[in-house]
Amino acid sequence: MDLRQLEAEPTAEEREAIDARLGDDPARDGTHFAAGFGRSRRHLLLPALQAAQARVGFISEGAFGYVCKRLEVPPADAHGVATFYALLSLEPRPPRVLHVCDDIACRCRGANELIADLERTTGDENGAAWLRSPCLGLCDQAPAAFLTVAGQSPAERLFGPVTAEQARAALAGDTLPEMRRQRLPQAGGPSLRLLKRVGVVDPGSLDDYLAHGGYLALRRAFELGAEGVIREVLDSKLTGRGGAAFPTGRKWEAVARQPARPRYLICNADESEPGTFKDRVLMEGDPFAVVESMTICAYATGCEQGFVYVRGEYPLAVERLQGAIDAARARGLLGGDLMGRGVRFDVEIRKGAGAYICGEETAIFNSIEGFRGEPRNKPPFPVESGLFGKPTVVNNVETLVNVLGIVLEGGAAYARIGTPQSTGPKLFCVCGCVERPGVYEVAFGATLRDLLALAGGVAGDRKPQAILLGGAAGAFVRGDELDIPLTFEGARAAGVTLGSGVVMVFDDSVDLPSVLLRIAAFFRDESCGQCVPCRVGTVRQEEALLRIVTGRPRGSTTAELALLDEIGRAMKDASICGLGQTAYGAIESAARRLRLFEEGKLR
Ligand SMILES: Cc1cc2nc3c(=O)[nH]c(=O)nc-3n(C[C@H](O)[C@H](O)[C@H](O)COP(=O)(O)O)c2cc1C
Ligand code: SF4
Ligand code: FES
């Protein structure tokens, strides 16, 4: 593609797909309260590119040039954006693409064998291709796959557990694989708070949601008033469930105090941390709860426009959320006059396109604004200057859903759940070598042992070798450290982190060095490349690890380990964002805590 001279025209179907997406701009038809957009339509760049690719399978030169022209974005600039996202392709691709997960939880459940089979048995299929993928957020139904079919409806399917036969059938286009069933080990459990409606309520019916207590919390919020809601959230001591554990009430208070308008709310549903799938379960199973809790947050903080930024590999979550948004709007529960109270708030979904870094809160701003999803320097913090330079609340899906109970029961009552420093219920994504992988809700304070018991223990009665807490950005503990309490303070005391709630179990048959190599490759792939410590450090880290694991160190293993430490320290101290700062955590814990690289430990 010669970016200085884009001469190709889009085909009629590409033009139609792009026009439909660009015409469908809520900022223009009055349902979108986003004055901060100004006159620029650049924020539609990613949706327009996604629309073109969904129609024909890739972004052709004609489609690319047409999008650039319509949005007045220089082609060189737009090229930088299009090439940033793994799910977008500027190269011709067949219409049918199967993304097969080869990440660590799926490897515990046969992903390597599945991929070896596909390598053996598939060749140049007509109109189809398969690619390896990082974690698809379906680790409870591993091994997982994500199918995209250009020009069809539905155009995307996430499914699992997938067999080689099913993968070949999906590639051949004989049938679209059946949508998987939700795996909900605790469905209908009496003590559930966050998951109480999941698997019980009809996610497509607003009436059913209302019959199960829906929208009582918003009513109560209006009675409390905006300041009253924030007071309850402060009293609850709720902390963010997206990984950073920041106090939610303080964030809301800070946005509510800002003089600038408009203010924005982003529900962070990017969920791409390997091993994490709790937000998917909430969005698919109880989508109205996400919309209602966003509405309460918006009311309390004075945000008039909300976005749900959902990872691109979650088509069912997108479909159900869109259904919930449309139904809520049709009944006056979103729009210009919520419940007749004169309050305005509306929500738009934005889909990610295969970039882990876009879960970082400031990277989301750039992604929605139509730029590469690169994190911004902080300060300024999002509460002052976030999306479109305006005050912005960013909260994780699970954090927001907690607010429903807080508003209904009161912050003080909520704070009595869990421990004094880690209040409330918590969702954990238990996966890997366990009998019943899934999302489990427990009160903070349960131990690893309790959680493992809920999940039926290690599969096949094997011994736990190690447990990865917090995902790739987290750390390993040994298989005999099951009494660690799953609280922020308990994790801190044990020198680990809960992160986004991943509990990934590896039994004694798993080859941990290959798991570490996969984690190192993940960070190397996902680094946005903006800052040197992370861009170079993640590459050097992978190289050093590979030398140690293959037994071909340049000097001694001790010297390689010292080098790994040095690289890790540089990434931690000097990286712009959490990706670089955490990229060494799991490897360091394997070296220190599991003593994996000591004499005789490497197989
Ligand atoms: C590389 C990276 C990826 C992240 N991915 C997510 C994510 O997928 N979902 C999420 O809620 N937070 C994610 N975060 C954390 C967000 O930056 C932010 O702290 C969070 O969305 C705030 O919401 P909370 O306070 O409700 O947790 C990520 C952070 C980093 C550094
Ligand atoms: S730490 Fe890594 S991911 Fe974060 S801004 Fe720097 S290069 Fe990008
Ligand atoms: S879906 Fe494969 S590791 Fe998560």
Transcribe 157-169 into DSSP letters: EEE-SPPHHHHHH
Same domain, 519 and 570: yes
Same domain, 241 and 352: yes
Among 272, 527, 567, 573, residue to substitute to test ligand 2 (most atoms within 8 Å of Cβ): 527
pLDDT at 27: 58
Task: Name the domain boundary from 47, 82, 117.
Answer: 82
Residue 552 domain-assigned (yes or no): yes
CA gap 473, 523 in Å, rounded: 9
CA gap 467, 458 in Å, rounded: 11
Same domain, 359 and 500: no
pLDDT at 37: 53
Q: How far is the CA of 290 from the centre of ligand 3 (A)?
A: 24
Atom of ligand 3 nearest to the CA of 141: 1
Q: Which two tokens stand for residue 298?
A: 């918006």
Residue 87 domain-assigned (yes or no): no
Asked if residue 52 lies in contact with residue 22, where contact means CB atoms within 8 angstroms, the answer is no
Range of lowest pLDDT (326-335, 425-434, 565-574, 592-601):
592-601
Beta strand residue intervals within 305-345, DSSP E = 305-310
Q: Which long-range contacts (CB under 8 A, 24 or more apart) does 371-376 make?
A: 371/42, 371/81, 372/80, 372/81, 372/84, 372/528, 373/84, 373/85, 373/528, 374/528, 374/530, 375/528, 375/530, 375/576, 375/577, 375/579
Residue 34 domain-assigned (yes or no): yes
For residues 224-234, give the mean pLDDT.
98
Residue 198 domain-assigned (yes or no): no
pLDDT at 36: 47
136 lines ligand 3 (CB under 6 A): yes
Higher pLDDT among residues 235 and 29, named by residue: 235
Same domain, 339 and 220: yes
Q: How far is the CA of 383 from the centre of ligand 3 (A)?
A: 33
Atom of ligand 2 nearest to the CA of 529: 7
Residue 339: CB partners within 8 Å, gap ≥ 6?
218, 219, 222, 332, 333
Asked if residue 306 lies in contact with residue 267, where contact means CB atoms within 8 angstroms, the answer is yes
297 lines ligand 1 (CB under 6 A): no
Cis peptide preceding 143, ω within 30 of 0: yes
Q: Which CATH number do you get for residue 494?
A: 3.10.20.600
Strand partners of residue 266: 307, 394
Give the Å distances, CA to CA, from 152 to 17, 55, 56, 352: 12, 8, 10, 20
Atom of ligand 1 nearest to the CA of 375: 31
Q: What is the pTM of this model?
A: 0.96
For residues 337-344, give the mean pLDDT.
96
pLDDT at 155: 85
Task: Name the domain boundary from 446, 473, 504.
Answer: 504
Domain that holds residue 460: 425-504
The percentage of residues in the chain with a pLDDT greater than 90, rounded to a whole number, is 89
Three-state SS at 278: helix
Asked if residue 257 lies in contact with residue 271, where contact means CB atoms within 8 angstroms, the answer is no
* pLDDT tens string 534-544: 999 999 999 99
Atom of ligand 1 nearest to the CA of 579: 1
Range of lowest pLDDT (52-66, 177-191, 220-234, 401-415):
177-191
Q: How far is the CA of 584 from the centre of ligand 2 (A)?
A: 13
Q: What is the DSSP letter of 375?
A: P
Of 262, 263, 231, whose CA–CA distance to 248 is shortest? 231
Q: Which two tokens stand for residue 199?
A: 């698997």
Q: Which CATH number do you get for residue 153?
A: 3.40.30.10
Residue 433 domain-assigned (yes or no): yes
pLDDT tier at 38 (50, 70, 90 boundaries)? low
Instruction: Please give the order of strands across the beta sheet that includes 305-310.
Output: 346-351, 305-310, 264-269, 392-396
pLDDT at 80: 97
Hey, what amino acid is at 187? Answer: A
Q: Which two tokens stand for residue 588?
A: 């360091």
Residue 25: CB partners within 8 Å, gap ≥ 6?
32, 41, 44
Q: What is the DSSP letter of 84?
A: T
Residue 13 domain-assigned (yes or no): yes
Residue 181 domain-assigned (yes or no): no
Q: How far is the CA of 85 from the centre of ligand 1 (A)?
A: 18
* pLDDT tens string 110-169: 999 999 999 999 887 778 999 999 999 999 999 999 999 999 877 899 999 999 999 999
Query: Which is it for strands 264-269 and 156-159: parallel, antiparallel or unpaired?
Result: unpaired
Same domain, 390 and 485: no
The percentage of residues in the chain with a pLDDT greater than 70, rounded to a whole number, is 95
For residues 313-329, give the mean pLDDT.
97
For residues 465-492, give the mean pLDDT.
97
pLDDT tier at 30 (50, 70, 90 boundaries)? very low
CA gap 594, 598 in Å, rounded: 9
Which ligand has an atom closest to residue 361 CA? 1
Q: Which CATH number do you get for residue 363?
A: 3.40.50.11540
What is the rounded average pLDDT for all residues in the chain? 94
Same domain, 409 and 429: no
Same domain, 331 and 398: yes
Number of domains the chain is built from? 5
Asked if residue 296 lies in contact with residue 404, where contact means CB atoms within 8 angstroms, the answer is yes
Same domain, 537 and 461: no
Nearest CA to ligand 2 atom 1: 580
pLDDT at 408 over 50: yes
Same domain, 149 and 246: no
Task: Name the domain boundary from 504, 522, 543.
Answer: 504
pLDDT at 298: 98
Same domain, 163 and 101: yes
CB neighbourhood size of 202 (10 A): 12
Same domain, 497 and 525: no
Higher pLDDT among residues 317 and 25, named by residue: 317
For residues 170-183, give the mean pLDDT.
72
Q: How far is the CA of 152 from the centre of ligand 1 (A)?
A: 32
Q: What is the DSSP letter of 318?
A: H
- Residue 70: is it exposed, middle or buried by C-beta count within 10 angstroms (0-12/13-18/19+)? middle
579 lines ligand 1 (CB under 6 A): yes
Same domain, 223 and 367: yes
Q: What is the DSSP letter of 16?
A: H
Nearest CA to ligand 2 atom 4: 577
For residues 206-225, give the mean pLDDT.
98
142 lines ligand 3 (CB under 6 A): yes
Nearest CA to ligand 1 atom 6: 359
Residue 77 domain-assigned (yes or no): yes
pLDDT at 235 over 70: yes
